């Protein structure tokens, strides 16, 4: 039987496994928000967050697949932190928290890229460039929604329109 060696440095493997957890965490957080918005009657925003949840899961799976391709063992999260999570319903706060979450994910990816540079792991660094671009888009998307919510203020009609727009638009384009 041929023994295969990990193609990645142990520090890189550990960092990518931490990123899997962060992506999983983000997926479950957005799923939570989707259900909360649905319960409050915001079907469009609920759909938006459901799409976000699916997108984060896809990001997690990209990393899992990469680790498997490199003959490494991905660590699959068997829980999420949301079991007892409760947050007061506030539309603007939920979007601010989502932006904060995206920035945490971005920071983690940048840390892994920096580690790749330090360890001369060009292959993983190249793999992560897609995530860097994706995170820039995600942060800008949430900033734009927050800006729109600030402009809307208490205008229920404008909130209705934003809810409808978020439910109809692909998550990459909310204009």
Q: Does the structure show a pLDDT above 60 at 4? A: no
Domains, the chain, ranges and CATH? Answer: 10-168 (1.20.1260.10)
pLDDT tens-place string over residues 146-174? 999 999 999 999 999 999 999 985 644 44
- Tokens for 13, please give them: 């493997």
Single out the residue of 148, 175, 168 nearest to residue 45, CA to CA.
168
Question: SS3 for 88?
Answer: coil
pLDDT score recorded for residue 135:
96
Please give the model's pTM, rounded to 2 decimal places: 0.88
Q: Per-residue pLDDT tens for 7-28?
A: 799 999 999 999 999 999 999 9
């Amino acid at each position: 039987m041929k023994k295969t060696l990990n193609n990645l440095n142990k520090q890189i493997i550990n960092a990518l496994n931490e990123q899997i957890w962060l992506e999983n965490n983000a997926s479950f957080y957005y799923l939570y928000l989707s259900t909360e918005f649905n319960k409050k009657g915001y079907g469009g925003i609920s759909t938006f967050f459901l799409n976000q949840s699916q997108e984060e899961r896809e990001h997690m799976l990209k990393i899992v697949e990469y680790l498997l391709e490199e003959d490494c063992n991905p660590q699959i999260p068997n829980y999420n932190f949301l079991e007892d999570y409760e947050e007061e319903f506030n539309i603007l706060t939920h979007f601010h928290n989502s932006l904060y979450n995206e920035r945490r994910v971005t920071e983690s990816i940048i840390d892994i890229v920096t580690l790749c540079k330090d360890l001369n792991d060009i292959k993983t660094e190249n793999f992560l460039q897609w995530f860097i671009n994706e995170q820039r888009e995600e942060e800008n998307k949430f900033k734009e929604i927050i800006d729109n919510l600030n402009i809307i203020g208490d205008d229920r009609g404008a909130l209705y329109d934003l809810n409808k727009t978020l439910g109809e638009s692909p998550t990459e384009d909310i204009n």
